[in-house]
Structure 1
Amino acid sequence: MNARPLPASLLDNPRLDRWIHFQPDRTVRIATGKVEMGQGVVTAIGQIAAEELDLPIDRVVVLSGDTTNGPDELYTTSSLSVEVSGGSVRLVCAEVRAKALERAALRLNCSRDDLSVVDGQFLQNGAATGQDYWTVAGEIDLTQAVTGAAPVKPASSYRVVGQSVPRFDLPAKLSGAAFVHDVLPKDVLHARTLRQPNRGATLASLDEAAIRRAAKGELQIVREANFVAFVSPIESVAQAAAAAAPAHAKWDNVRHLEAAHQEAAWLKGQASDDRRIGAWPAPATPPQHLVQMTVSRPYIAHASMSPSCALAEFRDGHLTVRSHGQGMHPLRKNLAAVLGLPVEAITAQHLHGAGCYGHNGADDAALDAALVAMRIPNRWIRLQWRREEEFGFEPVGPAMLVTLHVDLDERGRPADWTTEIWSPTHVQRPGTGSGYLLASEALAAPPPEVAPFDPSEERGGGGTRNAVPIYDVPAHRILHHLVVRPPVRTSALRGLGALPNVFAIESLIDDLAARAGEDPVAYRLSILSEPRARRLVELVAERAGWASRGPSGTGKGLGLAVARYKNRAAYAAVVAAVTVQETVKVDRVWCVADAGLVVNPDGARNQLEGGIVQAVSWTLKEQVKLDAEGIASRDWESYPILRFSEVPEMQVEFVDGAGNHTLGVGECTVGPTAAAIGNAVNHALGVRIHDMPLTRDRIMAALLKA
């Protein structure tokens, strides 16, 4: 059999022993570089391994995010964990299964075709042989590189994949044993920091005596240039010191911002690195029926329910760090670069956090903890950010301004489409060439500033993610203005640019349907030939009772949107029902998705539902606020999120994968949900609101303008 193309993770980590190990307790350990953030990836990967090895699921142990024993799969991003890491594990396990059967056949002096595997045991023509994986494991050379040539099981024979297996990570989380915040090694020291206000700010003076009086307990103050940490065996003492410190610190070279900088409209006209993508040059002839629309999204916080935290110990020249970051191998390399340690002198291990889709403060907290640990060796340091620090200093999701310029044909269909985007970078992860660990800027020799860039189109794009319509448009192009000096640090947040781009596209499609005097669903189907997307539009409209949709302007609205995440991952079609009075209330959401082969239906459904809930919150409530000192929204009152009482009723389903390969689902519902809400509000009011969040003030302004 010809070898299959290998996933990127196997090309980077070809040795079998980086992925699989047969353990003395007769379990098999499967290692993955992807980490668990609440998306259920550890369970899904365990299911894939159990399936290919014909093992009971309870005999598979998944090791996630360990630099000593696991593969380097960079960061857990872009809805690629099951598709890429799971795909790698499938090929590894298929190859190891084949090698184990070869060894068993030699021992039993029989043909390999006579052997089968049941619960890890090798049967010969259906009879027990006394041989299993563990009896032959020592004879398998796992230092070899995977070839991809071993046959994988057909989906028709799956017994574990496709089943809603309970998630491996939930018991420990429910008991409080899983989270890095709850891990307390013996004699641990607690630490908090005084944050440098901005790059280039210098600490002119620090009244340490006043801080010690406020702390009211045993306290060490660790300072390296403009990095300051407060360390105590009693957590409340370190917390009190950090809370008091800003009032007793004087900084020079502090940057001042303006409230206007918080709006996406400010981005237009700022210095930018411009790119042209697609069918350039634009037509020389002037458009005949030009329609334009501009939408915006503000800066958004990750808003994790617990602030960032890390553990670090420096002992005998070796640094061990435990973090809830999204990539332990990159963290290890980034720490080595800042601390001047050999990479081999650092171990990074993943522990669970409160969940975060994107680049929050987890990696930064790991460096904070490591800096303190190297100054206070032979003790575990537990460094946790304060809530104000998390909101004020984590990277935030970029504000975006999107303008669509669409020329219509005589039938009112798009004939030529230009998407123009203004956005800061969506990726400043450390080690990517454009990112850094925050505390490194406060050290005596900070790293040089780096020019921002965005992910390439081959990687799904950043600000341009999902900017290409799913519809049949003869010519499409993108003009991307990458704003190089935004007022705040920005980086990856769930979906990157997909949400505002899908919001813009689907809003315009609804408006074009109205312009043509046609139903929005019928109009979409008239310009949508992609069969998998068409199927979803038809199904979700049926589920939501679209045919009985009432007239516009009644205060009740029904809106629909569809997209394929990155135009290559899972498809999702969403209908939202809203009631608009003083504010927008999302009453119900219907979603039909196509993710190909779904490994764990319950876990994947959780991802669709989680994306819907987060999109509702972003669309209706969330916006980072700025003042002269920086980010001003530093608590849950100034940065409100969706409450449990506001979560809509949801009906979510997958269509049959029909033999298609697995597609990432973690981010596919975010854009369609936001757009469906926007269209539903437009239906309810008879007026479109172009700027998120769709607040009471914006509703009133739109109505007055109308």
Structure 2
Amino acid sequence: MEKAPQPLIANPQLGDWVGVDQAGEIFFRTGRVELGQGNLTALVMVIADELDMNPADVHLETARTDRSPNEGLTAGSVSLTFGGQALRWAASALRHLVLETAANRLELPAEDLAFRDARIWHGDAVCALSVAEIAPTLDFSTAIAPIANPKPPDQRWQAFRDLDRIDLKDRLVGAPFVHDLSFPNMLFGAPVHPPRLSAELLEMDEDVLMGRSGVVEVVRDGSFLGVVAKSPDDAARAADWARAHGRWTPDDIEPFDVVEAIANSTADVETVFEAGEPDLNAGRFFETVSSRPFLFHGSIGPAAAVAIWEDKNVTVWTQSQGIFHLRAALSMALRIDEDHITVIHAPGAGSYGHNGSDDAAFDAVLLAKSVPGRHVKVVWSRFDEFHCEPLGPAMSTRVKARLDDDGRLQTMNVMVHSAPHGRRPSANGTPNLRAASYIANPIHPAPAKDVPIERGGGADRNAIPGYDIPGVRLNKRLVRDLPYRSSSLRSLGAYTNVIAIESLIDDIVAEIGADPFEFRRKHLSDPRAIAVLDRLESLVHSWQTNPEEGTGWGIAYSRYKNMSGYCAVAMRVDVSEDVRLTDAVCVADIGEAVSPNGAKNQIEGGIIQSASWTLKEEAGLLGGSVSTESWLDYPILKFSEVPKITVELIEHPDAPPLGAGEISQGPAGAAISNAVRAALGVRVTRLPITRHAIVAALSA
């Protein structure tokens, strides 16, 4: 029998996933949240397909800690791999219970009944007995796994194959966003965060601040400072005044090159993986390095939250990716039991990774505590967003390889240096909320731990090469002694590591005059990996003939986490004063594609974000402070700079879904790097590939 999905271990009962409302209608629950990636649409599709329902008739409840199954974080491209399959099993178990109950009521064999279109059928006739009549009598404490019998792959997707985004209309008019939530008598808060992680508030004239227009309360708790006001503008103006007139401990850190500091760190080395004998003392050697700076998540909208204290209980609406992790973090920071905290997800500015949404939620909770019974909304300013959100970690990955006389890779040695990727809320036993370090009774973050390689890895994600190489060694240095707060960003270390490995592959190909597709295929035995490369080659065959001067094309391949989706990308560039992307082609294999259109959207978005990182993005730092204040200081890829993108899926309906949200980050960045090398004849090893970086590479 098929193994039950992982989420059913912690949430085994039907009632964890299915409920009945006051009208007797059945609804479903999920612990996954909608970040703009189309998660909920795909989950609705899974339920509708399993129960032969119209997707419009499926009610899927918003994730909230008091009613939803705890599925942890919506991260890692596993929402459908785990969460979707759990809902399919829950829907199957529901069908079993409905038909068994109906059979007893109708005195008919259960096998003679069917459940489709939310109705009970006997042959071609709809039974008079309705699901609404049965629903209140169902035993929702029933364990799902023993009675579930989900459809086999060849019986799925008979009625429909794709679906328009169920949240699209609301998103276009701003209806669901946490920024737009409104409650009677609501107040508005604004935090005044210290200018640096280590800064302490020494002096603030709270009486003058309290006298600012519209200010209702001034909240000071240690070095945490914030205002509650009658309007958003009043709150913002008061916070700006406080930021300009407060006195904090000075920044005593001299400016330094953080990428060089990470690359040259002498932190403890961990051997993560070793296979064979990676002997680097014989044969023909190749070596390269790839480094990236600290990055912002770069959401167009800033973080926001709404909170209210009633008696000793607090409720918070947030765009957090992990509402249960946030509840645990709030419990630690506030020193109250989790039972007194309810966290409700509300869509906000989308982000892959740990952005400022959890911090904004804690800000709202701290400010709302000063006005019990009143909702307080906090919307971070752009300044807050750049200065206070966790950064995507800077990294430097060095790769060495040995090639034998037959042109086959015999060894590869990968050394990863990285700032921490794993500082999510409540990780490592501490809140990991920015303001938790500022309050009078602070809880500082514990030393960051990395995501284990068995779960896909963190800094070392995709640092084990996905090729057939006899000798492989992977070492890692996690650099924790930096004055900046970093945490997870889309694909974690995979982006940098894939660029490093695929850059070296391409350097070898160029040096020995090999075909880039054939060389990669020669080192692959997985037919699905070979298939994505074969199809990509057929799509870009014409690129290989007579490239114009200043143009170039490159390819790259990886399997995300070495166990998820397969992705091969080709990029074509035109390099003059800057790098201009002209074409991007991607072929991916994500197993069962629940929503093919949604999957393609995810992959396209990954390519665009990766291109922006690769060509433009770098967080401004000065001493111990973030110096970026606005979009003028942090350019991102413009709509006019987006290349023509083609994405094809190789579908395997009989295979488990593998996820699509993060599979294209690494291959897209690597393909750009390889295309630029083809155009210029030199490798730019330090990202982003700006005009300055190109000049430096040409001058080296």
TM-score interval, normalised by the smaller of the two chains: over 0.9
Partner of 2:69: 71
Partner of 1:611: 606
Residue 297 in structure 1 maps to residue 295 in structure 2: no
Cα distance in 2 between the residues matched to 1:392 and 1:695: 23
Do 1:261 and 1:626's aligned partners in 2 also have CA atoms closer than 8 Å? no
Partner of 1:413: 408
Moved more, 34-43 or 433-442: 433-442
- Name the CA shift for 1:128/1:73 in 2 (closer, same or farther; >3 Å): same
Instruction: Measure how far apart 1:25 and its partner are.
Output: 4.6
- Name the CA shift for 1:244/1:167 in 2 (closer, same or farther; >3 Å): same
Instruction: Measure how far apart 1:216 and its partner are.
Output: 3.6
- Name the CA shift for 1:435/1:566 in 2 (closer, same or farther; >3 Å): farther
Residue 563 in structure 1 maps to residue 561 in structure 2: no
Deviations for 1:12-49, whole angstroms, at most 9, x for unmatched residues?
A: 11121111123355643111111000111111111111
Which of 124, 134, 137 is the aligned partner of 1:136? 134
Q: 1:164-179 counterparts in 2 under 5 A?
A: 164-179=162-177
Cα distance in 2 between the residues matched to 1:68 and 1:117: 30
**Amino acid in structure 2 at the alignment position of 1:436:** N
**Amino acid in structure 1 at the alignment position of 2:373:** N
Deviations for 1:55-111, whole angstroms, at most 9, x for unmatched residues?
A: 211111111321121111111110011111101111111111111111111122222
Residue 328 in structure 1 maps to residue 323 in structure 2: yes
Do 1:116 and 1:126's aligned partners in 2 also have CA atoms closer than 8 Å? no
**Amino acid in structure 2 at the alignment position of 1:638:** D
Q: 1:487-566 counterparts in 2 under 5 A?
A: 487-546=483-542, 548-550=544-546, 554-566=549-561
Partner of 2:270: 275
- Name the CA shift for 1:554/1:340 in 2 (closer, same or farther; >3 Å): same
Cα distance in 2 between the residues matched to 1:504 and 1:284: 20
TM-score calculated relative to the size of structure 2: 0.96
**Amino acid in structure 2 at the alignment position of 1:243:** D
Cα distance in 2 between the residues matched to 1:165 and 1:96: 23
Cα distance in 2 between the residues matched to 1:134 and 1:280: 59
Q: 1:3-18 counterparts in 2 under 5 A?
A: 4-18=2-16
Partner of 2:217: 220
Which of 468, 471, 474 is the aligned partner of 1:472? 468
Residue 364 in structure 1 maps to residue 364 in structure 2: no
Do 2:215 and 2:227's aligned partners in 1 also have CA atoms closer than 8 Å? no
Which of 306, 309, 314 is the aligned partner of 1:311? 306
**Amino acid in structure 2 at the alignment position of 1:41:** N
Do 1:121 and 1:130's aligned partners in 2 also have CA atoms closer than 8 Å? no
Partner of 1:123: 121
Instruction: Measure how far apart 1:246 and its partner are.
Output: 2.1
Q: Which segments of 5 or more consecutive residues in structure 1 lack a partner in the other structure?
A: none
Partner of 1:437: 433
Partner of 2:621: 626
- Name the CA shift for 1:79/1:156 in 2 (closer, same or farther; >3 Å): same
Q: 1:374-453 counterparts in 2 under 5 A?
A: 374-433=369-428, 436-453=432-449
Which of 144, 156, 159 is the aligned partner of 2:157? 159
Do 1:682 and 1:689's aligned partners in 2 also have CA atoms closer than 8 Å? yes
Do 2:288 and 2:500's aligned partners in 1 also have CA atoms closer than 8 Å? yes
Deviations for 1:140-173, whole angstroms, at most 9, x for unmatched residues?
A: 2111222255221122222378722111211211
Residue 247 in structure 1 maps to residue 244 in structure 2: yes
Partner of 1:679: 674
Name the SS of the counterpart of 1:694 in structure 2: coil
Instruction: Measure how far apart 1:198 and its partner are.
Output: 3.8
Do 1:161 and 1:600's aligned partners in 2 also have CA atoms closer than 8 Å? no
Do 2:195 and 2:387's aligned partners in 1 also have CA atoms closer than 8 Å? no
Cα distance in 1 between the residues matched to 2:445 and 2:53: 51
Partner of 2:451: 455
Cα distance in 2 between the residues matched to 1:248 and 1:611: 42
Do 1:558 and 1:679's aligned partners in 2 also have CA atoms closer than 8 Å? yes
Residue 596 in structure 1 maps to residue 591 in structure 2: yes
**Amino acid in structure 2 at the alignment position of 1:525:** R
**Amino acid in structure 2 at the alignment position of 1:497:** G
**Amino acid in structure 2 at the alignment position of 1:494:** R
Cα distance in 1 between the residues matched to 2:157 and 2:576: 50
- Name the CA shift for 1:524/1:280 in 2 (closer, same or farther; >3 Å): closer
**Amino acid in structure 1 at the alignment position of 2:240:** A
Cα distance in 1 between the residues matched to 2:158 and 2:600: 17
Moved more, 113-122 or 285-294: 285-294
Name the SS of the counterpart of 2:401 in structure 1: strand
Instruction: Measure how far apart 1:5 and its partner are.
Output: 2.3
Cα distance in 1 between the residues matched to 2:131 and 2:158: 19
Do 1:50 and 1:60's aligned partners in 2 also have CA atoms closer than 8 Å? yes
Cα distance in 2 between the residues matched to 1:430 and 1:448: 12
Moved more, 191-200 or 556-565: 191-200
**Amino acid in structure 1 at the alignment position of 2:229:** S
Instruction: Measure how far apart 1:393 and its partner are.
Output: 1.2
Cα distance in 1 between the residues matched to 2:198 and 2:309: 29
- Name the CA shift for 1:76/1:651 in 2 (closer, same or farther; >3 Å): same
Partner of 1:89: 87
Name the SS of the counterpart of 1:260 in structure 2: coil
Name the SS of the counterpart of 1:557 in structure 2: strand
Which of 58, 61, 65 is the aligned partner of 1:60? 58
Moved more, 469-478 or 127-136: 127-136
Partner of 2:231: 234
Cα distance in 2 between the residues matched to 1:585 and 1:512: 25
Residue 287 in structure 1 maps to residue 285 in structure 2: no
Partner of 1:265: 260
Do 2:197 and 2:484's aligned partners in 1 also have CA atoms closer than 8 Å? no
- Name the CA shift for 1:311/1:608 in 2 (closer, same or farther; >3 Å): same
Cα distance in 1 between the residues matched to 2:478 and 2:193: 28
**Amino acid in structure 2 at the alignment position of 1:147:** A
Instruction: Measure how far apart 1:396 and its partner are.
Output: 0.6
Partner of 1:204: 202
Cα distance in 2 between the residues matched to 1:193 and 1:88: 39
Do 2:275 and 2:471's aligned partners in 1 also have CA atoms closer than 8 Å? no
Name the SS of the counterpart of 2:651 in structure 1: coil
- Name the CA shift for 1:578/1:435 in 2 (closer, same or farther; >3 Å): farther
TM-score calculated relative to the size of structure 1: 0.96
Structure 1's consecutive aligned runs of 4 or more residues displaced over 6 angstroms after TM superposition are none
Name the SS of the counterpart of 1:396 in structure 2: coil
Cα distance in 1 between the residues matched to 2:605 and 2:160: 20
Partner of 1:146: 144
Residue 483 in structure 1 maps to residue 482 in structure 2: no
- Name the CA shift for 1:486/1:549 in 2 (closer, same or farther; >3 Å): farther
Instruction: Measure how far apart 1:119 and its partner are.
Output: 0.7
Cα distance in 1 between the residues matched to 2:663 and 2:688: 20
Cα distance in 2 between the residues matched to 1:547 and 1:630: 45
- Name the CA shift for 1:283/1:668 in 2 (closer, same or farther; >3 Å): closer
Partner of 2:78: 80
- Name the CA shift for 1:415/1:484 in 2 (closer, same or farther; >3 Å): same
Do 1:211 and 1:248's aligned partners in 2 also have CA atoms closer than 8 Å? no
Cα distance in 2 between the residues matched to 1:217 and 1:658: 59
Partner of 1:22: 20
Cα distance in 1 between the residues matched to 2:15 and 2:358: 28
- Name the CA shift for 1:161/1:343 in 2 (closer, same or farther; >3 Å): farther
Cα distance in 1 between the residues matched to 2:588 and 2:623: 44
Deviations for 1:626-677, whole angstroms, at most 9, x for unmatched residues?
A: 1135011121011111111111111111112152111110000111100010
